[in-house]
Amino acid sequence: MFHAMRTTFVLLALSISSLLLLPAQQPKDDQLAPYYPTPQTVVDKMLQLGGLKAGEKMFDLGSGDGRIVIMAAQKYKADATGVELNDSLVRQSMERIKTLGLTSSARVIHGDLLQQDYSSADLLTVYLLPVGNELVTPILEKQLKKGARIVAHDFEFAAWKPVQSVSIDDDGEGRSHHLYLYRR
């Protein structure tokens, strides 16, 4: 419990400090979602909670090393797209996607997650700080089709009420996780 509270406090402090450092500028992706890899067991639970089905289009906002995109394409047979600003993480993701032979069903867009088109999405996964969720909310409200699902890791969307939430006990890294499912 202490570890979970400490991690949440640190992430909240990062979120607040990013707002204070750049009051007149739009935050960069690493301030919306610093690279913090989601454990594989949590990745699988996110995709399960989102009800991802074969052939569906899914997007992972701030996709980091591509682990959610890769599992969505490999295990769930989805058409998976990640959005990542960090050059090195995009290269790492695409190399792994190529090595696994998933280039027809998985890709990572090198770009700003606030500047993308999500209108084709059936499922979005996000592990953004609260400021990131707040900034992407109006974009998703405008673009997402009826029935699209969003699974948020650890941080809720303040403007929306989740239809389901799941707590995941300590996964071996010393903290618990929380997932929130939303439907448009």
Percent of the chain with pLDDT over 90: 75
Q: Where are the domains of the chain?
A: 2-183
Alpha helices in the chain (DSSP H): 2-21, 29-32, 40-49, 67-74, 87-99, 130-143
Give which of 3, 162, 137 is closest to 11, Cα–Cα. Answer: 3
Both tokens of residue 62? 């701030």
Band (17; pLDDT cuts 50, 70, 90):
very low
pLDDT at 60 over 70: yes
Q: Is the pLDDT of residue 113 over 80?
A: yes
What's the mean pLDDT in 48-66? 97
Report whether pLDDT(47) > 90.
Answer: yes
Predicted local confidence at residue 171, as pLDDT? 60
Tell me: pLDDT of 151 over 50. Answer: yes
The CATH code of the domain at 2-183 is 3.40.50.150
36: confidence class by pLDDT, cuts 50, 70, 90: confident
Report, in this order, helix, strand and coil percent for the chain, each rounded to 5. 40, 20, 40
